[in-house]
Amino acid sequence: MRLEKDLYVTEVRISKTVNAPYLIEAIGGRYECSLTLNDATLEAWGIDPSSELLGSGMVITLEPRPPSQVAEETDLLIESLEKTTRRKFKRVPDPQFTDELEYVVKLQTPRDNSPSIPCPYFEITLDLDEGEYLEFMELPADTIFRISASGKQTQKR
């Protein structure tokens, strides 16, 4: 399984915090995602955290990795996998409703009991289609995912 999703970058924050100097907020479908990154991760992924990243996009890739491999900084665990039925009512001209299914996965960087946030640190919430949801359902609950990203910065005209 390999899952690629586009994110729309809404905010890039740069701080003087040593362990977490960059925070990228992005939207994937209906949900917000947060990527706390350091210089090494940005360089490895080829992402420039400049203002040009704002309003453009990123592509994130999630791939399950064998649990026997050594833990990496870019590992994620499934926090939740949801299938929700949403009912929409319409009253014009006649009362009626439609049901739609929504599939959502939430992934997060594993944390220990330390009060500090590790870096890199990811909180990713994504819309899935039915096929992607079924692929996630086939995976063991303790599956570890490796995340990678690349920028889709718009070119100036």
Residue 51 lies in a domain: yes
Residues with Cβ within 8 Å of 118's Cβ and at least 6 positions away in sequence, in order, are: 19, 73, 109, 111
Contact 9, 25 (CB under 8 A): yes
Number of domains in the chain: 1
Name, in order, each residue with C-beta under 8 angstroms of 93's C-beta and a sequence gap of 6 or more: none
Per-residue pLDDT of the chain (157 residues; tens, 9 = 90+): 899 999 999 988 887 666 668 888 999 888 999 999 888 898 999 888 877 788 888 899 999 988 777 888 889 999 999 999 988 888 778 888 888 899 999 999 988 777 777 788 999 999 999 999 999 999 988 899 999 998 875 444 3
Would residue 120 count as lying in a domain? yes
Give the domain range for residue 51.
3-152
Whichever domain contains 136, its CATH number is 2.40.50
Residue 4 contacts residue 142 (beta carbons within 8 Å): no
Residue 26: inside a domain:
yes
